[in-house]
Chains A and B, each alone.
Chain A
Amino acid sequence: MALKGRFGRFGGRYVSEVLVQALEELEEAFERLYPSPEFQRELGILLRDYAGRPTPLYHARGLSELTGCRVYLKREDLVTGGSHKLNNTLGQALLAKRMGKTRLITETAAGQHGLATAMAGNVVGLEVEVFMGIKDMERQASNVKRMQLLGAKVTPVTTGSGVLKDAVSDTLREWARSSRTTHYLMGSTVGPHPFPEIVATLQSVIGRELREQILEREGRLPDAIVACGSGGSNALGAFRPFLEDRRVRLYFVEGGGESLEADNSAAAFQLGRPGVLHGALMQLLQDEHGQVKPSKTRAAGLNYPGRGPEISYLCEVGRVKPVYAFDREVFEAVRITCRKEGLLPALETAHALAFLLNHPEEFDRGEVVVVNFSGRGDKDLETIMRHLYGA
């Protein structure tokens, strides 16, 4: 029997009792409001006029030449704010507003989701507080400034290792205190039901556009789609409309970190096993006793020890192939993409590009391959310059 909120055995709602009511209300509100013509019209207008959708599908000639494939980039970096994150935050902010909430809280790692939440909060008129690991605040200082400029309160998280997983924990704690007035605007396809479903639904706009665009350009579906991820929101957004098209190969690229060794990686599909964190059963980096392990990668946005329940399921049943890219390959992919395409990808996005560039055995010559170009790399400029040029 297919249970609501389950993807195979993954998913569920493993939260403190105090949060169950808020999750039930959210589920009910989403099912009632999201399909309504009014909601669709309002969201559609915001996605078009504010976010800048549809985003283009760009035929990347430089990368095509290098790989021998027909490489297309789905340009989510052109969404206002510089990443796919706004697709989700606009939808959830509208939902929260309709539910009568007065405040949005969320967590962020690379800062892209926090920024997109601050933007969406301002658009619909809701107060915003963003929890951010203290280490990520240092690494992503420019996004912190942008969030503050937009009026969001950025609260440093010092518990644990001061990274994304700790920020999610603190946001859940804050939500337990304030769920009657506050919506937790979950940033990825993780967390307790209904968050994974809501986020994947809102991000699916990527795949729907992509499908139309590739049919128009190539007259057929792509041979492969490549997307980076940890929780899985940009990947599921791109993949979902293609899940039934078994001939379209789907690659999910996680953060390999420095090496595939216990404490130097974020590759949960390689190094983890199913476990429960932040409300859901999912593929999880953990030690032999079930203590969650901190992940490690240079891309803050991939630095999460869990893979969302839906992507965990799709990889388990073989519909999606989980792969990884190492930090050094990622920086090289950034350099190549800058030189060949004149585009600066986010470090997260560069994982997908790195996989394409380094695994010719996966792609036949002439194949049509779409990379979900999930975000731009301005936020990573200093890290990239220091790595590539030592300055």
Chain B
Amino acid sequence: MELEATLGELRRRGEGALMPHVYFGDPSPSFSLRLLRTLAGSGADLLELGIPFSDPIADGPTFIASCERALSAGVTPRDCLKALAGLREEGLRLPVLLTAYYNLIFSRGLAEFCEEARRAGAQGLIVPDLPVEEAGELLREARRRGLHLILQVTPTTSERRLGRIVGEASGFLYVIGVEGVTGAREELEPSTLELIGRVRRLTSLPLLVGFGISRPEHVASLLRAGADGCVVGSAIARIYSERLEEPESTLPRISDFVRSLKGATRRKT
């Protein structure tokens, strides 16, 4: 299903969107495939599929370790796209956002990368190290192929830049509620809720909040503050990282965890 249709449908139902984020290939491609199927079957509304990168500067310790394990397993960007194409063939219908640090896209060629991402079945791209000022060319190449380039806003984003970002954004806005890097945190920061309010006043685009979210209570209070959904990443990786010798054994726990987060998205009102 297309991204806008999915988010529109959720909004009509008064339900929040849940987007789990995984780095593909950690600790192996076969586990990642099982994990993605589990997430899709446990209530995920969208999936964020990360392509592992050697120098993930926007990520915290959990995802740095994920990238390192995936790269030592020999995973390439091409493997990630192939895996996505495979999941589509199996019948995966959820919108998928591909996350790639900019050099992976630059190295392949912007047009080629977008073309391949679209063909593999992605609906959009998330590029953690590409602020709107540098995004012009990729925005053009992505749009030309019907891909959304998801832009980010943070508590440090100025009003002037917020206006520009909202003007260029499509699909949804990725609201990074904290100052820092990815990683599960115990408490939500007040800055997160403030930021949702600030952005909400400027745009009707869906707002998905990420970084630091690890509990159903977090999800519920973000939605109450006006968000349309949440991204949960490190909190999932943390569960299977505890059993790397047998990560499959944690899938039931991950499934329960994702169901509990999804449950919280249904209590919006």
Contact = CB atoms under 8 A, between A and B. Distances in A.
Contacts of A178: 179
Interface stretch (A13-21, A321-329, A331-339): A13-21
A18 B154 contact: yes
Contacts of B54: 160, 291-293
Contacts of A289: 76-78, 104, 107-108
Interface in A125-174: 159-160, 165-166, 169, 172-173
Given A177-B180, A279-B129, A290-B108, A17 B152 contact: yes
Interface stretch (B35-43, B56-64, B196-204): B56-64
Residue among A20, A160, A279 with most chain B CB within 10 A: A20
B30 interface: no
A375 B102 CA distance: 35
Interface stretch (A241-249, A270-278, A356-364): A270-278
Contact of B157 (A21, A173, A276): A21
Interface stretch (B6-14, B18-26, B130-138, B139-147): B130-138
Given A15-B129, A289-B76, A290-B77, A21 B156 contact: yes
A231 interface: no
A16 B55 contact: no
Interface residues of A, number: 38
A179 B158 CA distance: 14
Contacts of A278: 55, 57
Interface string B150-191: 011111111001000000000000001001110000000000
A201 B155 CA distance: 31
A275 B106 contact: yes
A350 to B, nearest CB: 29
A289 B53 CA distance: 10
B55 A169 contact: yes
A224 interface: no
B57 A16 contact: yes
A74 B246 CA distance: 59
A214 interface: no
Interface string B93-109: 00000000111111110
A12 interface: yes
B71 interface: yes
Contact of A16 (B76, B107, B129, B155): B129
B68 interface: yes
A13 B59 CA distance: 18
Interface in A17-62: 17-22, 24
Contacts of B56: 169
A186 to B, nearest CB: 14
A20 B106 contact: no
Interface in B178-234: 179-181
A286 interface: yes
Nearest to A284: B103
A330 to B, nearest CB: 27
A286 B53 CA distance: 11
A145 B59 CA distance: 30
B263 interface: no
Contacts of A315: none
Contact of B53 (A19, A24, A291): A291
Interface string A63-81: 0000000000000000000
Interface in B75-95: 76-78
A176 interface: yes
Given A17-B176, A289-B104, A177 B181 contact: yes
A16 to B, nearest CB: 4
Contact of A17 (B55, B60, B157): B157
A16 B130 CA distance: 7
A275 B179 contact: no
B247 interface: no
A162 to B, nearest CB: 12
B179 A20 contact: no
Contact of B161 (A13, A19, A20): A20
A14 B129 contact: yes
B85 to A, nearest CB: 17
Residue among B71, B106, B108 with most chain A CB within 10 A: B106
Contacts of B106: 275-276, 281, 290
Contacts of B158: 21, 24
A284 B104 CA distance: 13
A20 B157 contact: yes
B157 A290 contact: no
B154 A17 contact: yes
Contacts of A166: 55
Interface of B: 53-61, 64, 68, 71, 76-78, 101-108, 128-131, 133-134, 151-158, 161, 176, 179-181
> When A and B form their complex, which 7 residue pairs have the shortest distance between CB atoms, in order from nearest?
A290-B107, A177-B180, A21-B156, A18-B154, A17-B152, A291-B54, A16-B58
8 contacts: A14-B134, A15-B57, A15-B131, A21-B161, A22-B156, A166-B55, A281-B106, A292-B54
Given A20-B133, A169-B56, 5 more contacts: A17-B131, A17-B152, A20-B156, A180-B156, A290-B77
